[in-house]
Structure 1
Amino acid sequence: MEEVTTFHGLGHLFMTIFLYCFSAFIVAPAITDVSMAALCPGKDECSLAIYLSGFQQAITGVGSLMMMPLVGSLSDKHGRKSLLTLPMTLNILPLATLAWSRGTTIFYIYYVLKTFTSIVCEGSVLCLALAYVADNVPQGQRASAFGILTGIASCAFVCATLCARFLSTAATFQVATTMAVLSTVYMRFFLPDSIRDNSLVVPIVTSEKLSAALLEDYPGHRNRISRAICSVREMASFMRSSVPLFQVAMVSFFSSLGEAGLQASSMYYLKAKFRFNKDQFADLMIIFGTAGSISQLLFMPILVPALKEERLLSIGLFFGCAHMFLLSVAWSSWVPYMAAMFSLLSIFPQSCMRSIVSKQVASYEQGKAQGIMSSIGSLANVISPLVFSPLTDWFLSGRAPFDFPGFSIMCAGFTMTIAFIQSLMIRATTPTSEIGSP
């Protein structure tokens, strides 16, 4: 009976993640064109759009750095479902804004809403979903389960991008808003909570407010600065608790820094060099997502038992480096499409790192551990715009010291190379015993 309940719980989780990711990904091909049309009409290069995007990424990273360990710890105490409700509800607001209109004034309203809601939303849904899976899947099967979860997100990415390819911009944001609402309603009605020992669960919404719950978990820390310091201390303590955790944390930081650099640069680079538009971005994302889905759902369950997470992590990072280097020197508009095929193998690292971490902590610390891992990625997102946004603007403009539009992407590739070298030093880990209670 417990196995059947677990199966249904994971099934509802996968559906929730599919709907949520669909709502988030369907707007991805259109957002660059919307931003540039609102900020720099008729231009193929827009410094304001690049810097606003970088600023948003930095603010989101700072907020997530503070929030992710807190969200993870609260989910260990109050349950995953209660904590999922907040980011999934907030995610609706910025989408609904652009569904209404996409003029310059409305775009700035969207920008402010997106910046502040992303502080809570960015990464928290995936973080809580990973903790949910860890609650319900034995240690030996978690890498494959994490891969399936990432594969579900990749499937949502493909389906959403296909829809965006054939929808108008206005319809794209309307569909995104509808799916965001549907995912939240579905989660609240159908997803069972994953905490098995009900004596450990404290309802987060009773007569007390969420803010009271936040302060309860961090007594004496009554302001954001104190909570930020506490988050940094937790991250440092977490990284020092074992050698494999420290190694994975370093790999996570540099790989996230490289990925953030790629994300900050690639669309503006492709638009400036090859005049890509919404439809071409969608085609590129479909290739990337389809390859990633096939890899996560079919290849990873086979490769993990044979190669183990540590080796598969290194393989994924190697092909991630290759993807960035090839994209940075693209000599024709078909090269980015070929580079996207590297996602067949470059999609592995996140699932592998999360699996390694989940085996190093006890069952009652899964939310906290996944939250701290998300915070490490958020720290990379804070640093990335300070480096890659100016580089992107500089080398896409006429002020560049030499003609190399993809220089910022190559720098992101070198950052990913550091993560790859570090991953080679991770040795096989001994899972933490699940026996015991907090």
Structure 2
Amino acid sequence: MSWWSGFFELKPLFHLLLPLSIHWIAEAMTVSVLVDVTTTALCPQQSSCSKAIYINGVQQTITGIFKMAVLPLLGQLSDEHGRKPLLLLTISTSIIPFALLAWNQSKEFVYAYYVLRTFSHIISQGSIFCISVAYVADVVHESKRVAVFSWITGLSSAAHVIANVFARFLPQNYIFVVSITLLTFCPLYMHFFLVETVKLDPGKNQELGFCTRVIYVLSRRYKSMRNAAEIVIFSPTLRGVALVSFFYKLGMTGIHSVLLYYLKAVFGFNKNQFSELLMMVGIGSIFSQIVLLPILNPLVGEKVILCSALLASIAYAWLSGLAWAPWVPYLGGSFGIIYILEKPATYGIISKASSSTNQGKAQTFIAGANSISGLLSPIVMSPLTSLFLSSDAPFECKGFSIICASVCMIISLIFACMLNPNTGSRDDDLEGNQQDPLLNYN
């Protein structure tokens, strides 16, 4: 019943999910190719490229610094000014960076791509999914949200499989052209067909003078940010899941920032092997998210699913870091079928613990706090990975940095075991119904 329930709940979300799926395809089809493009441009005729690892780490660090403020802000704006304009903004930011690589893949253009892609990631990375989850919460009843979230993350996995098929069989010169064509289609489709779900309050600030309006906007942003922090801090469930998610992202972000470069350096993987590996994981993830999670969730609950996902992520990290043959990363990647369930389980717990008016605030505040992982993990992972891939390594373990990252997932599992999603009140009373004194200006 839950499986079919989740499927039928997707019908009113068609105009959201179609452009989202196309957007995921367009972005994911470039992942495996970017490793070859970056390595070729920055380190010609070399399999290992410290420059590529470091520039990727710098990009993630800068993104993590600014996302801490930008993600919660975008969530607040989506609660107050509507989901549609924020989705249009965030989903459009990838077009120009990929257009550069479609035009030219020289060293200068690769550097320009990373600069523009950093700005794009600051605005869109994480925020697209969080705002989409808030959109779903506007439309779908609380009792059916986890099933719907699993269907959506399953569609994301399906999009990644299709993307990796494109990456596997399309010539490299056409991949970025196809990508920007699809990326341009998405905001255009949303503009014409997506329906707004937030009832906008025009308020009284249109009658204010310029100076008073500036004060009003700054005061409202501060108050909204403070309320978002209070919603998470004073809710035992949200506070607990924030810790779980933070340490999980800290470890997993670090692994994913270096994994493909590590596999290229150690086993000589290229875009074909990367695409095959990602396709294998994606196909299994479709089944686990679309079929398995909606069936298991009513039986065992989000906490058991979350803990199982974290255990799988630890196994994935250890097998990847200790890989002794080219087939071992494929075995480790198979655990992605289970650890991918962390995302819908986390979204479900956050959504249940948040009121209908605070979905965007709660989701993006926690995602913004998690962006600190994008700041911290590359600082450690980039130099550590480069060191152990070089001839100066203190001992022979090329995947030592990935083993270190698994410690964060172990800490996350400990917090998850302590989590009780059924404890603590919802955040309805935290937002309050206080009037903003600036609204009294005439």
Q: Does TM-score exceed 0.5, indicating one fold?
A: yes
Q: Distance in 2 between matches of 1:326 and 1:217?
A: 50
Tell me what 2:439 maps to.
Answer: none
Are residues 1:65 and 2:65 paired? Answer: no
Aligned with 2:36 (options 33, 36, 54): 33
| Deviation of the 1:239 alpha carbon | 3.4
TM-fit CA distance, 1:311:
1.1
Corresponding residue SS for 1:109? helix
Task: Rate the CA distance shift 1:19–1:437 in 2: closer, same or farther, 3 A.
Answer: farther
CA contact (8 A) 2:229 2:365 kept: no
**Aligned AA (1:283):** E
Taking the TM superposition and a 5 Å limit, the aligned residue runs for 1:43-54 are 43-54=46-57
Q: Which runs of structure 2 are paired with 1:194-205 in the superposition (5 Å)?
A: 194-195=197-198, 198-200=199-201
Shift of 1:235: 6.4
Partner Cα separation in structure 1 for residue 176 and residue 97 of structure 2: 10
Q: Count how many residue pairs are aligned between Structure 1 and Structure 2.
A: 421
**What is the Cα deviation at residue 187 of structure 1?**
1.1
Q: Quick check: 1:9–1:191 contact (8 Å CA) kept in 2? A: no
The equivalences for 1:43-192 within 5 A come to 43-192=46-195
Identify the match of residue 432 of structure 1 among 420, 426, 431: 426
Aligned partner of residue 371 in structure 2, secondary structure: helix
In the alignment, what sits opposite 2:437? none
Instruction: Report the Cα offset of residue 432 of structure 1.
Output: 3.0
Q: Counterparts of 2:402 and 2:378 in 1: how far apart (Å)?
A: 13
Matched, 1:15 2:15: no
- For 2:99 and 2:73, the matched residues in 1 are separated by 27
Task: Give 1:323 shift.
Answer: 0.7
TM-score (norm 2): 0.89
**What is residue 286 of structure 1 aligned with on the other side?**
279
* 1:197-216 alignment, distance < 5 Å: 198-200=199-201
Q: Does 1:340 align with 2:333?
A: yes
Offset, 1:218: 3.2
- 1:317 equivalent in alignment to 2:303: no
Looking at structure 2, the residues matched to 312 and 158 of structure 1 have their Cα atoms a distance apart, in angstroms, of 23
Q: Point out where structure 1 has 5 or more consecutive residues left out of the alignment.
A: 207-211, 222-226
Q: What's the CA shift for 1:307?
A: 0.8
Residue 190 and residue 434 in structure 1: after superposition, are their counterparts in 2 closer, same or farther (change >3 A)?
farther
Pair 1:295–1:215, CA change in 2 (3 A): farther
Equivalent position SS for 2:92: helix
Supply the distance in 2 between the matched residues of 1:343 and 1:191 (Cα, whole angstroms): 32
Shift of 1:138: 1.2
How far off its partner does 1:377 sit? 2.1
Q: 1:356–1:429: 8 Å Cα contact kept in structure 2?
A: no
Shift of 1:213: 10
AA aligned to 1:175 is V
Check the 8 A contact 2:235/2:427 in 1, yes or no.
no
Residues 357-390 of structure 1 show CA distances to partners (whole Å, capped at 9, x for unaligned) of 1111211111111111211221111111111111
Alignment check: 8 A CA contact 2:228 2:361 kept: no
Distance of 1:236 and 1:322 partners within structure 2 = 33
1:407 aligns with 2:400: yes
Q: Following TM superposition, by how much is the alpha carbon of 1:305 offset from its aligned partner in structure 2, in angstroms? A: 0.4
2:360 matched to 1:359? no
Residues 361 and 215 of structure 1, relative CA distance in 2, 3 Å threshold = farther
Would the aligned equivalents of 1:252 and 1:376 in 2 still touch at CA under 8 Å?
no
Q: Does the CA-based 8 Å contact 2:388-2:397 persist in structure 1?
A: yes
| 3-state SS in 2 of match to 1:90 | coil
354-363 vs 173-182, greater mean Cα deviation: 354-363
Q: Offset of 1:200 from its aligned partner? A: 3.3
Distance 1:43 1:433 in 2: 54
Task: Tell me which amino acid in the other structure corresponds to 1:343.
Answer: G
Q: Distance in 1 between matches of 2:270 and 2:154?
A: 26
Distance in 1 between residues matched to 2:216 and 2:51, nearest whole Å: 41
CA distance in 1, matches of 2:127, 2:416: 25
Equivalent residue for 1:300, pick from 293, 296, 304: 293
**Structure number with bigger Rg:** 2
After TM superposition, the score normalised by the length of structure 1 is: 0.90
CA distance 1:186–1:384, shift in 2 (3 Å): same
Shift of 1:26: 0.7
Q: Against the structure 1 CA distance between its residues 62 and 315, is the aligned structure 2 distance closer, same or farther, given a 3 Å change threshold?
A: same
CA distance in structure 2 between the partners assigned to 1:303 and 1:124 by the alignment:
28
**Contact kept? 2:282, 2:337, Cα under 8 Å:** no
Please give the alpha-carbon distance, in whole angstroms, between the structure 1 residues aligned to 2:242 and 2:421: 15
Displacement after TM superposition at 1:329 (Å):
0.8
Question: 1:265 touches 1:408 (CA, 8 Å); kept in 2?
Answer: no
**C-alpha displacement at 1:50, in angstroms?**
0.8
The one-letter amino acid paired with 2:128 is V
Q: Deviations over 1:91-134 (max 9, x none)?
A: 11101111111011111111111111211111111111011111
Once the two structures are TM-superposed, the CA of residue 248 in structure 1 deviates from its matched residue by 0.4
Give how far 1:410 is off.
Answer: 0.6
Larger mean CA deviation between 351-360 and 173-182 belongs to 351-360
* Equivalent position amino acid for 1:102 in 2: Q
Aligned-residue offset at 1:49: 0.9
